[in-house]
Amino acid sequence: MIHAFPCGTLPLDFVGTLRARRNDAPMEKLASAADLDAWFVESGLLPDARSSGARDLERAVELREAVYALVWARLHDRPLPEDPVATVNAYAAAAPLVPVLTDAGWSRVGGAGQALSQLAREAVEIVGGDQAALLRECGRPECTQVYLDHSRGHRREWCSMATCGSRMKAAAYRARQRADAEA
């Protein structure tokens, strides 16, 4: 598995395919069309993805950045920027994935464009709905992952306790140990 899904919501996990946005060299997890197909499969959005091309990858990055711009605006109580709104709305207006029933249960079928439409529709619901008030950005300075804070009291600080939370707690512990040793 090459992708991470700490948010519990696909559009925000998709935004997280560009890691450490504020660093000098952010980590691009969608470097190729094959990476995009891998994300679709690993996320469960499109279990049989293997046909994305260079244009699909360009469109995916365009959508990802538009969604991030909208999330950023919500996080900072700013008006939603017009161009990202138009971009996300255009993707959301396209045909979504088609659910199909099989002997094994259900699945989705379609192409990359339909998967992007599905992501855009879910992003519209998050950014434009009540869940926008739950948007948070990870408290680890090197991480820029956004997530929905469904914790009791809405005091979650990290995108994932297993990664960022663990690192931040370990760093705080080491700092306390150093301070105690110096005192």
The pTM of this model reads 0.85
Asked if residue 2 belongs to a domain, the reply is no
| Domain carrying residue 163 | 10-182
Length in residues, the chain: 183
**What's the CA gap between 9 and 122, in Å, rounded?**
9
Q: Are 14 and 23 in contact (CB under 8 A)?
A: no
How many structural domains does the chain have?
1
Q: What is the rounded distance in angstroms from the CA atom of residue 164 to the CA atom of residue 175? A: 16
CA–CA separation, 44 and 149 (whole Å): 22
- Half-sphere exposure for 69 (CA within 13 Å, toward CB): 17
Tens of pLDDT, residue by residue, the chain (183 residues): 788 887 779 999 999 999 888 888 899 999 999 999 999 999 999 988 888 999 999 999 999 999 999 999 999 999 999 999 999 999 999 999 999 998 989 989 999 999 999 999 999 999 999 999 989 887 777 777 888 887 776 676 656 655 665 666 666 666 677 777 777
Whether 113 contacts 56, CB under 8 Å: yes
Structure-block tokens of residue 171? 């760093």
Q: Is residue 4 part of a domain?
A: no
How far, in Å, CA of 170 to CA of 9, rounded? 27
Nearest CA-CA partner of 137 in 67, 68, 75: 75
Residue 43 lies in a domain: yes
What's the CATH code of the domain at 138?
A: 1.10.3300.10
Reference 68, options 123, 150, 23; nearest CA is 123
The verdict on residue 143 lying in a domain is: yes
The identity of residue 6, as a single letter, is: P
* 57 inside domain: yes
Domain membership of residue 107 (yes or no) is: yes
Contact at 8 Å (CB) between 135 and 75?
yes
